[in-house]
Amino acid sequence: MTTLSLAASYLSDRYFDSYPGEVNTERLVVRRKEQSELLEKPSARVYQDPYEKILERSGDSMSFDGDTVRFGHDGLLDSQQQDALSASLKSLIPWRKGPFHYYGRDIDSEWQSYLKWNRVASRLPDLKNKKICDIGCNNEYYMYRMLSQDPWFILGIDPMVRYYFHHQLNRKFYRDSRINFDLLGVDDMDLFPGFYDVVFFMGIIYHRRNPVQTLNLINESMKSGGTLILESSGIPGNDPYCLFPDGRYMKAPGYWFLPTAAALKNMLARTGFHKIEVFENFKLDVNEQRQTDWAIYESLEHFLDPDDPDKTVEGYPAPVRIYIRAEKR
């Protein structure tokens, strides 16, 4: 029996074949071939080796409608399989989103993501039979929380190899044709013209060098009347302006701009969205984002001025989190 290479296995998952004429298949195939090369790099072995030691299971109890995404419960795995699972889970550190539970092992992630989900859930349209994209899906926490509303199709995209192995690990225990993953980024949204009913774009836009172009790409991927859930780091203020940091913000070089809620609303209006509603705008605190044993690197408490938590270590305004719902015209 021939075992497919990691890249070949990735390419064989042609989830898009169910939507002929609805996606740009020719360009998507080319793009996926390019991305498959990431799985052939030696760095992928860090995740692949422990993952391959885990046996597939089916029929175990799962729960995705509570604060914790749960796969199985304690006592179902023998000691060898428990050790293999532990090794795979540890290889995926840092766990940014969660919490998760795997067969008796609790994963305390950096973000208490159920807080974000609970804010968003009440503003969602009915997801039943909808086609959904979660841009920058990370470890798929939000995708599993969506399942309780019975969507038709969910695609999580994230170009980081680590999150491909999160997806593959979860599939060892639970396979659901509605949950799909691809090593794509927001710049690839034009491969799905007018395709999505709902798009989640949470915690990313402030990392984009050209946020207006990014919102245009997202708009073009959506059906008319489709819903965008946008969540962003930002700064306080009532006027439509942005902070453009000099070098780093919260010790990171990837914060390109920090908008006010009014600035985000204007961006959305000028990129084809309407019915724009800011439904949360609050200062982030260390109860929601913090360092844990499963997210061992610095977190929010290390990025704020210890003498003035209203400022970052660089002296900029500390971040607020802005949540917006909008619809495509």
Tokens of 187: 């710049």
Classify burial at 324, counting beta carbons within 10 Å of its beta carbon; exposed 0-12, middle 13-18, buried 19 or more: buried
Angle CA(126)–CA(184)–CA(230) in degrees, nearest 5?
40
Strand partners, 105: 102
Q: How many helices (H) and strands (E) does the chain have?
A: 10, 15
Q: How far apart are CA 68 and CA 99, in angstroms?
A: 5
Say how far residue 135 (Cα) sits from the centre of its chain: 6
Per-residue pLDDT of the chain (329 residues; tens, 9 = 90+): 446 799 999 999 999 999 999 999 999 999 999 999 999 999 999 999 999 999 999 999 999 999 999 999 999 999 999 999 999 999 999 999 999 999 999 999 999 999 999 999 999 999 999 999 999 999 999 999 999 999 999 999 999 999 999 999 999 999 999 999 999 999 999 999 999 999 999 999 999 999 999 999 999 999 999 999 999 999 999 999 999 999 999 999 999 999 999 999 999 999 999 999 999 999 999 999 999 999 999 999 999 999 999 999 999 999 999 999 999 99
237: left (phi over 0), alpha (psi -120 to 50) or beta: left
pLDDT attached to residue 3: 65
* Sign for the pseudo-dihedral over CA of 115, 116, 122, 127: negative
3 state SS of 230: strand
Map tokens 């080796």 to a residue: 49
3 state SS of 61: coil
Q: Residue 257 in contact with residue 240, Cβ under 8 Å? A: no
Q: Which domains does the chain have, with CATH numbers?
A: 6-328 (3.40.50.150)
